Amino acid sequence: MQETTIDGSVPDPLETVVATLAAASRYDVLLGIIPVAYASAILVAGLSSVPLVVTMLVASLVGVVVIADACYLNPPTEARS
């Protein structure tokens, strides 16, 4: 199924991806880092001789740092009007 606009044209997929990435906030990016860290840990453990436990420990530490940064060091603030 292909998305069409009101005028019937099909939007460029690259423009759609760029618009979505441009709309992502800092916190969206931080939340995206966590699964990337775990996926990277699995990949590194599978392709090298580093044990999975070690790579998962590193990925967990990355997740803790990201969550601590997002929640405590740079928490979201309410927009002041």
Asked if pLDDT for residue 1 goes beyond 60, the answer is: no
Asked if pLDDT for residue 81 goes beyond 60, the answer is: no
| CA distances from residue 2 to 7, 9, 10, 78 in whole angstroms, order as listed | 14, 10, 8, 37
Query: pLDDT tens, 10-57?
Result: 778 788 878 877 888 888 899 999 999 999 999 999 999 999 999 999
If one compares 65 and 23, the residue with the highest pLDDT of the two is: 65
If one compares 9 and 46, the residue with the highest pLDDT of the two is: 46
DSSP line for the chain: -----TTSPPPPHHHHHHHHHHH--HHHHHHHHHHHHHHHHHHHHHHSSS-HHHHHHHHHHHHHHHHHIIIIIS---PPP-
